Amino acid sequence: MDKSRNRRIGTKAKPRWDRAMHRVIDGLGRRVMVYLPDKKSECPNCYYDKVHDKSSGVCKVDVSSPTYFTVGRCPVCHGRGVLTTTIRKCIHAIVIWNPQGYATNTKTYSEAGWEGAMSAEIKTDKCYLDIIKRAKYISIDGVRCQMTNGPIIRGIGGQSILIAQFMTVDKPRVGSGETINTEGYNN
């Protein structure tokens, strides 16, 4: 019997691992909102002043248009000169608050006051790699987080699951899942 054959991973192991990880993410994961860079387009109602980065205050539509203006700011862009569209995508991911330790995930006191878990790790499908790389920030349970380390792909063959680490930029909120309520427990 060839011993080297017993040490190799079979050809069916990787697809099985991929399916199992997708089922784990679907079963245990939650919705994570990913905010991508805003899309800006020039206002169709007024001229944009590139020097001052705002509306020039001059209308470019016909007088018969309901958005026509003569003085003041543009009613469409409110004087900004551009229309900004927030782009967000909802992904499904496993969220681990404070992945480096502190099993109780309790609040800590620092010079700034009381704090909850400051870091979060998400595990999701590798198809979201481009979205996570381009993200301005993400929102987990309503808590805004920014990426600290670039996303990495791990698993059998190194290509099964996407892992990304984030730091919170908002204060923790009660009931968000970021901290555990320890009231009523005797220590």
Domains belonging to the chain, first-starting first, are 3-37+88-168 (2.40.10), 44-80 (no CATH)
- The pLDDT value given to residue 169: 82
Per-residue pLDDT at 150:
81
**DSSP alpha helices (H): ranges in the chain?**
3-7, 13-28, 129-134
DSSP annotation string for 130-164: HHHHH-SEEEETTEEEEEEEEEEEESGGG-SEEEE
Residue 76's pLDDT band (boundaries 50, 70, 90)? very high
pLDDT at 187: 47
Cα(127)–Cα(138) distance, integer angstroms: 17
Residue position matching structure tokens 């002043």? 49
pLDDT of residue 125: 86
**What are the tens digits of pLDDT across the range 17-68?**
778 877 888 778 889 999 999 999 999 999 998 898 888 888 889 888 888 9
Instruction: Assess whether pLDDT exceeds 80 at residue 142.
Output: yes
Average pLDDT, the chain: 79
Of 182, 98, 181, give the one whose Cα is nearest residue 140.
98
pTM (two decimals): 0.68
Q: Mean pLDDT, to the nearest integer, of 85-98?
A: 89
User: Residues 2-26: pLDDT tens digits?
Assistant: 555 555 667 777 778 778 877 888 7
